[in-house]
Chains A and B, each alone.
Chain A
C-alpha cells in the first residue's frame, strides 16, 4: 500500500524523526478527538493521531507528536499529556480548563533539497547552508504541513482560529464546532496568509469500512479560497488540501498540505 516506497526509503536513510508527510507518503493524516462539543467547568478530550487510508481506522502507522501545537481559547499554548504511541496510533489528552475553542494541530515546516557532488546526486534537509564545497545543481523546496482538529468547551470562540500566516491553513467562516449535517459550513483556505484560490479539496466521510463507495467529494476553492461543505449525514469527516509549486528561476519549490477532521453533528 505504500504509494511512494522510494521516498520512504529516502526518509529512513536520512534518519528523519518526523517525515514531511506530503513528501513521504500518501496516507491520510488525522487527529481524531473523543468529542468536539463539550460542557462544564472543565473537561478533557483524548485524541488519536494516525495515518491511514481508511477513515478513521488505525491500520497503518501512528503520527509523531513532536510537532503538536495546541492553541487555547485565549490564544496561548496548551500543554497536552502525551500518552504514547502504539503500533498504529499515538495518543494524547488535552485538558480544557478555559471556556472556548481549542485548535489542535500537528505543524511541520522544513526545507528539503538535493545537490550534485562528483557526479552523484545527494539529498539534504534544512537550510542548505552547510553543503559541502563543490556542490552543484542545488535545488530545494520548502514544505509545510498542518493536520488539525478543533474542540470547544462551552460557547465557540474565534481567538484560536486566527491565521498564523504560514503554510496552508483553513480559516473557518462557519465555526468548526458549530456545524451540523444539512447546513452549509463555509471554510476559507489561506496559503501563507493569502487566499488559496483554485485548490482541490478532498472531503471524505468517516466510516469507510462500512460502505462500498469511497465517499469522496472533490471541491475546489473559489477566488477567495472558500469552499462550502454540506454533508447530509452527521459524522466525523476528513478534509485534505495541498498545493505545490516546482522550483523555478532560482526560487525554491513550495509544497504545502493541510488536513483536518471535522465533526458534523445531527441537527
Chain B
C-alpha cells in the first residue's frame, strides 16, 4: 500500500517533497453515552503550531447534508476551532468535511505532501480534537507531537465527557 501511494505521488509530481512517506494516523473515540436525547457530536481535528496558531484543519465532521436547515450553523459550538480556524474557512471543504460519525473509534491517516496535511514544516505541534454535541457538552483534547517524526511514535490523550481516547501515531 505504501509503495503504491508513493508511486502515485511520483506520478502526480508531488514526490518533489522528499518526505512524502511520512504520515500521521489518528484514532478518535466517540463515546457511547446514555442520555435521553442523543445526537452525534460535531468533531473538528486540527493542528496548532507552538504559538497556538492553527496551521491545518484535517477533519470536520458535521451535519453536512442537513435539510432544510444549514448544518454549518452549529459549527461555532466547537468554539476553539471556530475561533482559530473554522470561521475563516469555506464550508464544506473538500477532503476535510464529512458527515457526523456514530459512537465508536474512527481512524484517519494523513500523509506529508498530500492534502489536507500538505507539507507541514518541521516543528513542535499540537493535534487538537474538539467535539460538541447538540443538547450535550463540548470538549477539547490535545496531543503534542514533533514533525517530522524521527521514528515510529505514538501518543494519546483521553477526554472525560464528549471524547474518549485520541491516539496519534506518526511514522517516518
Contact A39 B75 (CB under 8 A): yes
A42 to B73 Cα, complex, angstroms: 9
Contact B72 A40, beta carbon cutoff 8 Å = yes
Task: Indicate if the CB atoms of A178 and B83 lie closer than 8 Å.
Answer: yes
The yes or no answer to B37 lying at the interface (CB within 8 A) is: no
Measured CA separation A41–B90 after assembly (Å):
10
Measured CB to CB, the nearest residue on chain A to B79 is A265
**Are A38 and B83 in touch, CB under 8 angstroms?**
no
The size bracket of the interface on A is: 10 to 19
Q: In the complex, A267 Cα to B88 Cα: how many Å?
A: 18
Is the C-beta of A197 less than 8 angstroms from some C-beta in chain B?
Answer: no
* Main DSSP-derived SS at the A contact region: loop
Give chain B nearest CB distance to A177 CB in angstroms: 9
Interface centre among A40, A41, A43, A178 (most CB of B within 10 A): A40
Taking the nearest CB of chain A, how far is it from the CB of B61, in angstroms?
A: 15
A155 with B76: CB separation less than 8 A: no
Q: How far is the CA of A22 from the CA of B72 in the complex (A)?
A: 41
Query: Is B80 located at the chain interface by the 8 A CB criterion?
Result: yes
How many interface residues does B have (CB within 8 Å)? Answer: 14
B9 proximal to A (CB < 8 A): no
Q: Hey, which chain A residues are within 8 Å of B72, CB to CB?
A: 39-41
B76 near A39: Cβ-Cβ < 8 Å: yes
Given contacts A154-B87, A155-B87, A156-B87, contact A37 B82 (CB under 8 A): yes
- From 76 to 124 in chain B, residues with beta carbon under 8 angstroms from any chain A beta carbon are 76, 79-80, 82-83, 86-88, 91
Instruction: Tell me the nearest residue of chain B to A267, going by C-beta.
Output: B80
- Asked if A180 is at the interface of the complex by the 8 Å CB criterion, the answer is yes
Judging by beta carbons under 8 Å apart, are B87 and A39 in contact?
yes
Best-buried of B74, B83, B86 by chain A (most CB within 10 Å) = B83
For chain A residues 137-161, which have a beta carbon within 8 Å of chain B? 152, 154-156
Given contacts A37-B82, A265-B79, A266-B79, contact A43 B87 (CB under 8 A): no
Query: In the bound complex, how far is the Cα of B87 from the Cα of A265, in angstroms?
Result: 15
Residues in A with CB closer than 8 Å to B82 are: 37, 39
Chain A residue with minimal CB distance to B138? A266
For B71, the closest partner residue in chain A by CB is A40
Docked complex Cα distance between A180 and B86 (Å): 16
A-B pairs with beta carbons under 8 Å apart, 24 shown: A37-B76, A37-B79, A38-B73, A38-B76, A39-B72, A39-B73, A39-B74, A39-B75, A39-B76, A39-B86, A39-B87, A40-B70, A40-B72, A40-B75, A41-B70, A43-B70, A43-B73, A155-B87, A178-B83, A180-B83, A265-B79, A265-B83, A266-B79, A267-B79
Please list the residues of chain A having a beta carbon within 8 angstroms of any beta carbon in chain B: 37-43, 152, 154-156, 178, 180, 265-267
Closest 8 pairs between A and B when the two form their complex, measured CB to CB? A40-B70, A40-B72, A40-B73, A39-B75, A155-B87, A155-B88, A37-B76, A39-B72
